[in-house]
């Protein structure tokens, strides 16, 4: 049942123990756990991780500052060391297939290039998409002059002239975190409802509030120069912090019928999961930003590893059930 001698480098036509959809930190660590457990595992990755625009991965113990692409390169090598395969491609369909006579689950996964793969279990580790507010000039600076996460970029922008663009209740939370990093902070309220108490708190922390609507972000060849307001005034800024709407990436996975939930305060939507990344869909696990929108690289990798080990345990139980089924059949034939 389990493909312990997994050396076939053409997974089409065979049923592998697990397919991992998405090869970022979560997917690769899940695959690493599975491959090290002598499970046949194929990672399918479309090569577009969330932090691709960033220069380095920050706050990752032992690897602080490593380039995102370099980290994933090491991860792919490590998965390959134990016989796991990483395919470049995009999953465009995934669905349960008929289970085996002994009750083991089956899935069929289609790739954009026409390849079709079969597996006993799936790990969804597709990450999320950040949707930026629709402000002219903003998107071009995403991951550099436009940042969202004080733990990812905060130290690098310390003491800069920073502006927080108000897009909802989470922007207030962001103000306090970026105020920790600079004394020069402007909040562009953007219609965010600020009560008197909040305005007082901002004032005593030295945060300037601008209520005039933002027209666009201005920049030159060195980066952001400021925020142009609707009345024509330019407020000089070098860095802008913004909260994004975080949308779990589930395109192409509709056939799995995964439970997707909206989070409060317009934060976004995620795939709901339980212990170790289990989902309501038998045989399908989810890990990383697809289910935990706020997980950083370390937390995503940890969740992928946990899901991978949980999948291995389920497969071990299924292998035993299959052996029992076979033993029962042989006994019936003999009698």
Q: Which is nearer to ligand FAD, 117 or 152 (CB)?
A: 152
Q: For residue 178, what is the enclosing H or E element?
A: helix 170-179
Nearest distance in Å: CB 48, ligand FAD: 4
Whether 257 contacts 182, CB under 8 Å: no
Nearest distance in Å: CB 97, ligand FAD: 18
**What residues pair up with 86 in beta bridges, in sequence order?**
43
Q: Which is nearer to ligand FAD, 28 or 202 (CB)?
A: 28
Q: Which of 175, 177, 196 minimizes the C-alpha distance to 187? A: 175
Query: Hey, how many other C-beta atoms are within 10 angstroms of the C-beta on 306?
Result: 19
Q: Which is nearer to ligand FAD, 22 or 166 (CB)?
A: 22
Nearest distance in Å: CB 95, ligand FAD: 14
Q: Which is nearer to ligand FAD, 11 or 202 (CB)?
A: 11
Q: Which is nearer to ligand FAD, 149 or 281 (CB)?
A: 149
Q: Which is nearer to ligand FAD, 1 or 272 (CB)?
A: 272
Nearest distance in Å: CB 127, ligand FAD: 3
| Those residues with Cβ within 8 angstroms of residue 128's Cβ, 6 or more apart along the chain or in another chain | 50, 246, 247, 248, 249, 268, 270, 289, 290, 293
Nearest distance in Å: CB 8, ligand FAD: 21
Q: Which is nearer to ligand FAD, 189 or 250 (CB)?
A: 250
Nearest distance in Å: CB 295, ligand FAD: 5
Say how far apart CA 335 and CA 333 lie, in whole Å: 6
Whether 189 contacts 210, CB under 8 Å: yes
State the residues that interact with ligand FAD by CB under 6 A.
Answer: 21-27, 44-51, 53-54, 57-60, 90-91, 125-127, 130, 143, 149, 152, 249, 252, 288-289, 295-298, 300
Strands (E), the chain: 15-21, 41-45, 85-88, 91-97, 106-111, 116-124, 128-131, 146-147, 162-165, 185-188, 208-210, 214-220, 223-229, 234-236, 239-242, 245-248, 260-263, 268-271, 284-286
Say how far apart CA 321 and CA 173 lie, in whole Å: 50
Q: Which of 207, 213, 215 minimizes the C-alpha distance to 186? A: 207
Nearest distance in Å: CB 281, ligand FAD: 16
Nearest distance in Å: CB 253, ligand FAD: 7
Q: Which is nearer to ligand FAD, 132 or 194 (CB)?
A: 132
């Amino acid at each position: 049942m389990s493909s312990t001698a997994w050396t076939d480098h053409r997974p089409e036509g065979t049923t592998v123990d697990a397919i991992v959809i998405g090869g970022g930190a979560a997917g690769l660590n899940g695959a690493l756990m599975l491959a090290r457990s002598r499970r046949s595992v194929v990672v399918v990755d479309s090569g577009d991780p969330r932090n691709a625009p960033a220069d380095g991965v920050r706050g990752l113990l032992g690897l602080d500052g490593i380039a995102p692409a370099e980290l994933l390169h090491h991860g792919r090598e490590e998965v390959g060391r134990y016989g796991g395969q990483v395919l470049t491609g995009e999953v465009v369909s995934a669905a349960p297939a008929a289970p085996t006579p002994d009750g083991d689950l089956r899935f069929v996964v289609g790739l954009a290039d026409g390849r079709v793969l079969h597996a006993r279990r799936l790990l969804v580790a597709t990450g999320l998409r950040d949707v930026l507010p629709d402000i002219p000039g903003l998107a071009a600076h995403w991951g550099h002059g436009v940042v969202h996460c004080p733990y990812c970029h905060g130290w690098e922008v310390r003491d800069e002239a920073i502006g927080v663009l108000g897009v909802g209740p989470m922007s207030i939370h962001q103000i306090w975190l970026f105020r920790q990093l600079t004394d020069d902070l402007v909040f562009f309220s953007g219609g965010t409802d600020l009560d008197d108490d909040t305005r007082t708190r901002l004032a005593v922390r030295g945060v300037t509030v601008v209520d005039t609507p933002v027209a666009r972000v201005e920049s030159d060849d060195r980066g952001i120069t400021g925020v142009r307001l609707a009345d024509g005034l330019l407020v000089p800024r070098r860095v802008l912090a913004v909260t994004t709407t975080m949308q779990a990436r589930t395109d192409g996975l509709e056939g799995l019928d995964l439970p997707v939930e909206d989070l409060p305060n317009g934060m976004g939507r995620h795939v709901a999961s339980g212990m170790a990344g289990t989902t309501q869909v038998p045989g399908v696990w989810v890990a990383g930003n697809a289910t935990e929108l706020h997980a950083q690289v370390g937390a995503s990798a940890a969740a992928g590893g946990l899901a991978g080990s949980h999948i291995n345990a389920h497969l071990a139980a299924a292998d035993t059930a299959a052996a029992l089924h076979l033993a029962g059949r042989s006994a019936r034939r003999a009698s």
